[in-house]
Amino acid sequence: MESYLQKIIGNALQNMGLDDDQFPEIKIETPRDASHGDAATNIAMLLAKPLRNNPRKIAEQLVDEMKFDPSKISAAEIAGPGFINFRFAKDYLYDELEALLDEGEEYGKTTDNKEVKCLIEFVSANPTGPLTVGHGRNAVLGDTVARLLEWTGADVQREYYFNNAGRQMRVLGQSVQARYNEIVGAEINFPEGGYEGSYIADIAQELVNEHGDKLLSETNEKLFKEKAEAVIFDEIRKTLERMNIVMDSYFNEHSLYESGAIDRVIDTFREKGVAYDSDGAVWFKTTAFGKDQDTVLVKSSGEPTYRLPDIAYHAEKLDRGFDLCLDVFGADHIDTYPDVLNGIDVLGYDKSKVEVLVYQFVTLVKDGKPYKMSTRKANFVTLDDLMDEVGEDVTRFFFLMRSPNTHLEFDVNQAKEAGDKNPVFYLQYAHARIYSILRKVNDLEPFSEKPVLSELKHPSEITLIKKLLSFPGAVSNAAANREPHRLITYLNELASEFTSFYHDCRIVGEEKEVMHARKVLAGATARVLANGLTILGITAPERM
């Protein structure tokens, strides 16, 4: 209904002579006082200043121009200084509830982004160690935004970008080689800044099992690096799959060098006058885009900074024909991604097709003390460690339950709570509880005839139906804002509304038609809870 109301209001505004870019976002809200109607908008008041007119007069014009389906809307009324209140048609709620039941697992899907081909790049950790809690929020946020976009009709591809070349990987190979030498009893020369996690020794042991001491004659780290990359990437894939995340593609940064894409970026920048040489380095003239100083693209050592391959990579993404390239980055990228956007703009691409979702970092807390994480030292906490302790569903949910813009404190003790104090269990219990009720009703009365939904007349029933019917809007809202926690807020409200309904309207023991209608309403609630949890990548158990 929200999207329907936005559409008829938008059409009315156009009939008044306004273009789409001339009017603000059309917000639809539910009045606190049910006597004021079923939905309301303050659009007339938002237009008062730009139109230089009395908001009530604007509201009158809007209502005059509105053309709505009487089977959906029975009345549009003006209230107060210029609110427009809508009243739903008598049978609208019952018709829509029946449609919800018919759509089942598909309910909540929209066509908001049906023409959008989208690439979401997330995780993108180099294969130097297992995924840690530090990568977890990125992984879950990226995958859930992908799910939201898919539910709103987008064609989504998930991509993992990595670099298996460069100093980090050389140090990784040298670290494994040093541990290999240690295991076979040879002299070790552990590299400065080497990786010290126990997983390095595990990889070295595999090489010992496969080759014995025959690799002592190896003079460089290549074989050790390749073995480490293969083992670590295999573990990364398994960790992601355990979190219900499957990548569609993996993109190797090194391929940008092999294809000449890196050189083409520098050449084009030089041609456009935004790249120059100084002090042995290649510089990007970022002062031309408002920055206080220019930025190094290639160091005097000949090693590129992160910005250069990132610019080439984004050009490659757009060459593949994506309408939206969404990057999920930690807050440490805030200063770097504007350079990438300006870079692809210089190359002639539409930088508006690139969107960056920045999230704040996670502090893992247990017993009131924070864990510290490092892939080089041995004191990091892996995602597998966390899932072993609190479970996969809880891990995903906790990473999603706060806005990406806020710092997340992941409290392991709260996550291990088995009752209603654990927010994910609250929703899962609500779903399982409804199934328990449905089983009880089915044991008493199997019901073969079609339910009479008009038996649902109690205020708590009507309120619950309205909340169920707002699910597609909640999905669209969460997708549009790239904020999965908005969907969690909706699901919590739905579970609360069901509790009120069940408190006010008993199911078992009522007359047959009323019991049947209420059973169907309970089932519809379970369906929406399950669909919402599916979008979040979380299971919806029927028993707990």
Angle CA 350–282–276, to nearest 5: 75
513, with CB counted inside 10 A (0-12, 13-18, 19+), is middle
Give per-residue pLDDT as tens, 432-487. Answer: 999 999 999 888 877 768 899 999 999 999 999 999 999 999 999 999 999 999 99
pLDDT confidence bin for 418, thresholds 50/70/90: confident
Dist. CA 21–CA 441, nearest whole Å:
52
Dist. CA 370–CA 250, nearest whole Å:
33
Cβ atoms 119, 326 nearer than 8 A: yes
Task: Give the residue-averaged pLDDT of 505-531.
Answer: 93
Specify the pTM: 0.90
Cβ atoms 146, 156 nearer than 8 A: yes
Query: Is 375's pLDDT higher than 60?
Result: no
Dist. CA 296–CA 280, nearest whole Å:
11
The domain ranges of the chain are 2-90, 167-242, 420-535
Q: Token pair for residue 148?
A: 């939201």
Dist. CA 531–CA 538, nearest whole Å:
10
Q: End-to-end distance of the chain based on CA atoms, in angstroms? A: 34
What's the one-letter identity of residue 9?
A: I
Residue 63: Cβ within 10 Å count: 17
**Percent of residues in the chain assigned helix, strand, coil, to nearest 5:** 55, 15, 35
Cβ atoms 427, 492 nearer than 8 A: yes
Percent above pLDDT 90 for the chain: 70
281, with CB counted inside 10 A (0-12, 13-18, 19+), is middle
Q: Token pair for residue 347?
A: 């190359």
Per mean pLDDT, which range of 51-55, 109-113, 341-345, 539-543 is the poorest? 51-55
Dist. CA 395–CA 136, nearest whole Å:
8
- Among positive and negative, which fits the CA dihedral 485, 473, 543, 505? positive
Identify the pLDDT of residue 140. Answer: 97
Side-chain-facing half-sphere of 490: CA atoms under 13 Å: 28
Cβ atoms 375, 421 nearer than 8 A: no
**Cβ neighbours of residue 335 under 8 Å, at least 6 residues apart?**
none
Class of domain 420-535: mainly alpha
Backbone angles phi, psi at 251, to 5 degrees: -120, 125
Residue 475: Cβ within 10 Å count: 25
Dist. CA 172–CA 200, nearest whole Å:
8
pLDDT confidence bin for 373, thresholds 50/70/90: low
Dist. CA 387–CA 382, nearest whole Å:
9
> Pairing relation of β-strands 362-366 and 281-284?
unpaired
Helix (H) or strand (E) holding 358: strand 354-359
Query: Is 420's pLDDT higher than 80?
Result: no
Side-chain-facing half-sphere of 368: CA atoms under 13 Å: 0
CATH architecture of 2-90: 2-Layer Sandwich (3.30)
Query: Is 508's pLDDT higher than 90?
Result: no
Backbone angles phi, psi at 326, to 5 degrees: -105, 120
Query: Is 285's pLDDT higher than 60?
Result: yes
The 8-class DSSP code of residue 302 comes to: S
Identify the pLDDT of residue 378. Answer: 63
Identify the pLDDT of residue 419. Answer: 73
pLDDT confidence bin for 189, thresholds 50/70/90: confident
Q: Tell which residue, 133, 129, 158, has the closest CA to residue 396.
A: 133
Cβ atoms 232, 129 nearer than 8 A: yes
